Structure 1
Amino acid sequence: MRYAHLLGLLFLSFFSVAQSSKQIDSALAYQRQLDLSYSDCEDSPLTEDDLEHFKGLPFFKVDTNYIVKAKFEKIEGQKPFVMPTTTERKPLYLKYAKLSFKLKDSIYALYAYQNQQLVQDSAYVDYLFLPFTDRSNGVSSYRGGRYLDVRIPKKDSLILDFNRAYNPYCAYNPKYSCPIPPEENDLPVAINAGVKYRMLY
């Protein structure tokens, strides 16, 4: 009986390590793809000078503590609203869901929004936008906050990977119009994961 118990513990330990390794690999693959897209002279948000010297985005070290399972609660009865941007542009968003999660022994929540123009594109019909601010802003990350993208889950939960947090395009180039994270999406904790600011080369 004791032998079987030890085997069970060993299996759980091996499974946990394998799962963690898979999560790290996935986050690193995403970051490599992000670097690749920023180095593309046709689609990059970087200025010509920054693009010429670009060697990769500065990332926090991938940390599985910032990969969390979030409870997904769809919010009913909402009406589209104008989300402020860094310019005069006034995009319409719908507050779509509340995402609750545990991070470092505390419970937090972020709201996910649905872009009412983007949702007309079949490729983005299940796309949700999570703009947020946290205590790392203006210290080690962009002062204006960062973004996450998720897809509407089929069940009542999803995985939030803050290692995939990225900066608004206007962090690199003022010609872009970027949504300003709503106050309700301010996290009272430093999210030391994802893209830092700014040292591109």
Structure 2
Amino acid sequence: MKKFIFLFTAIFCLQISFAQKSKTYNDSIKAFQKTYVTSHEVVKTADRKFFRFYPADKTYAIQCSFEKSTDTTVVVMKTSGKKIPQKDFIRYGKLIFTIHDTALQLTVYQSKLQTPLTKDYLFIPFADVTSGDETYGSGRNIDLLITDIKNNTALADFNKAYNPYCVYSDGYNCPIPPRENYLVVAIKAGEKTFAKKH
């Protein structure tokens, strides 16, 4: 009987521990979304009620293998704008992961134009099965820093996927994800389509 009580207590404590960890993660995503909305540079305060997000889902925070690229070829990405119809990037590496039992990879890019402020900044534009339906048609972005890559691994948190500025206003030149970053699964995490047209 004592063993049963001990086992039951241990399982109960583990469940509470897992729930607290899950809640902590969900709370962190809610805080991220709140900061994202209240500090957005393009969307004015009156229109911030039109932001929409998927519920936080930790299964979309994926620890990926990272492979550094040796390819120095410049990747010319088309943009959504007319003033700057294309932007130049370099393949920094790729993230390799599995989601929904599907093996996938995403190319990680670095801008060809480097400044002291952007030298550690990496860019992951992607499109998926939700693009053009629940999410922006041309795709979304995830940010990464070089310092986020440790021991050839990096976290890709799709709960922090966000829309490019061209979703909210004309006049922006947003890179369109290359074909190699089109995912054949639905990424139901991060920012959805904006609920107001511009």
> What TM-score, normalized by structure 1, do the two folds share?
0.83
**Residue identity in the other structure for 2:39:** S
Aligned pairs (5 A) from 1:89-128: 89=84, 90-117=86-113, 119-121=114-116, 123-128=117-122
Aligned pairs (5 A) from 1:10-159: 13=15, 15-38=17-40, 44-46=41-43, 51-55=45-49, 57-88=51-82, 89=84, 90-117=86-113, 119-121=114-116, 123-152=117-146, 153-159=149-155
Q: For 1:55, what is the secondary structure of its paired residue?
A: helix
Counterpart residue number, 1:41: none
CA contact (8 A) 1:58 1:200 kept: no
Q: For 1:22, what is the secondary structure of its paired residue?
A: helix
User: Quick one: which of 167, 170, 191 aligns to 1:195?
Assistant: 191
Gaps of 5+ in 2: none
Change (3 A) 1:77 1:13: same
Q: What's the offset of the Cα at 1:99?
A: 0.2
> What TM-score, normalized by structure 2, do the two folds share?
0.84
CA contact (8 A) 2:50 2:194 kept: no
Change (3 A) 1:145 1:52: same
Q: Give the number of aligned pairs.
A: 190
Q: For 2:30, what is the secondary structure of its paired residue?
A: helix
User: Quick one: which of 178, 183, 190 aligns to 2:179?
Assistant: 183
Report percent identity of matched pairs. 34
Change (3 A) 1:8 1:30: same
1:160 aligns with 2:162: no
Gaps of 5+ in 1: 39-43
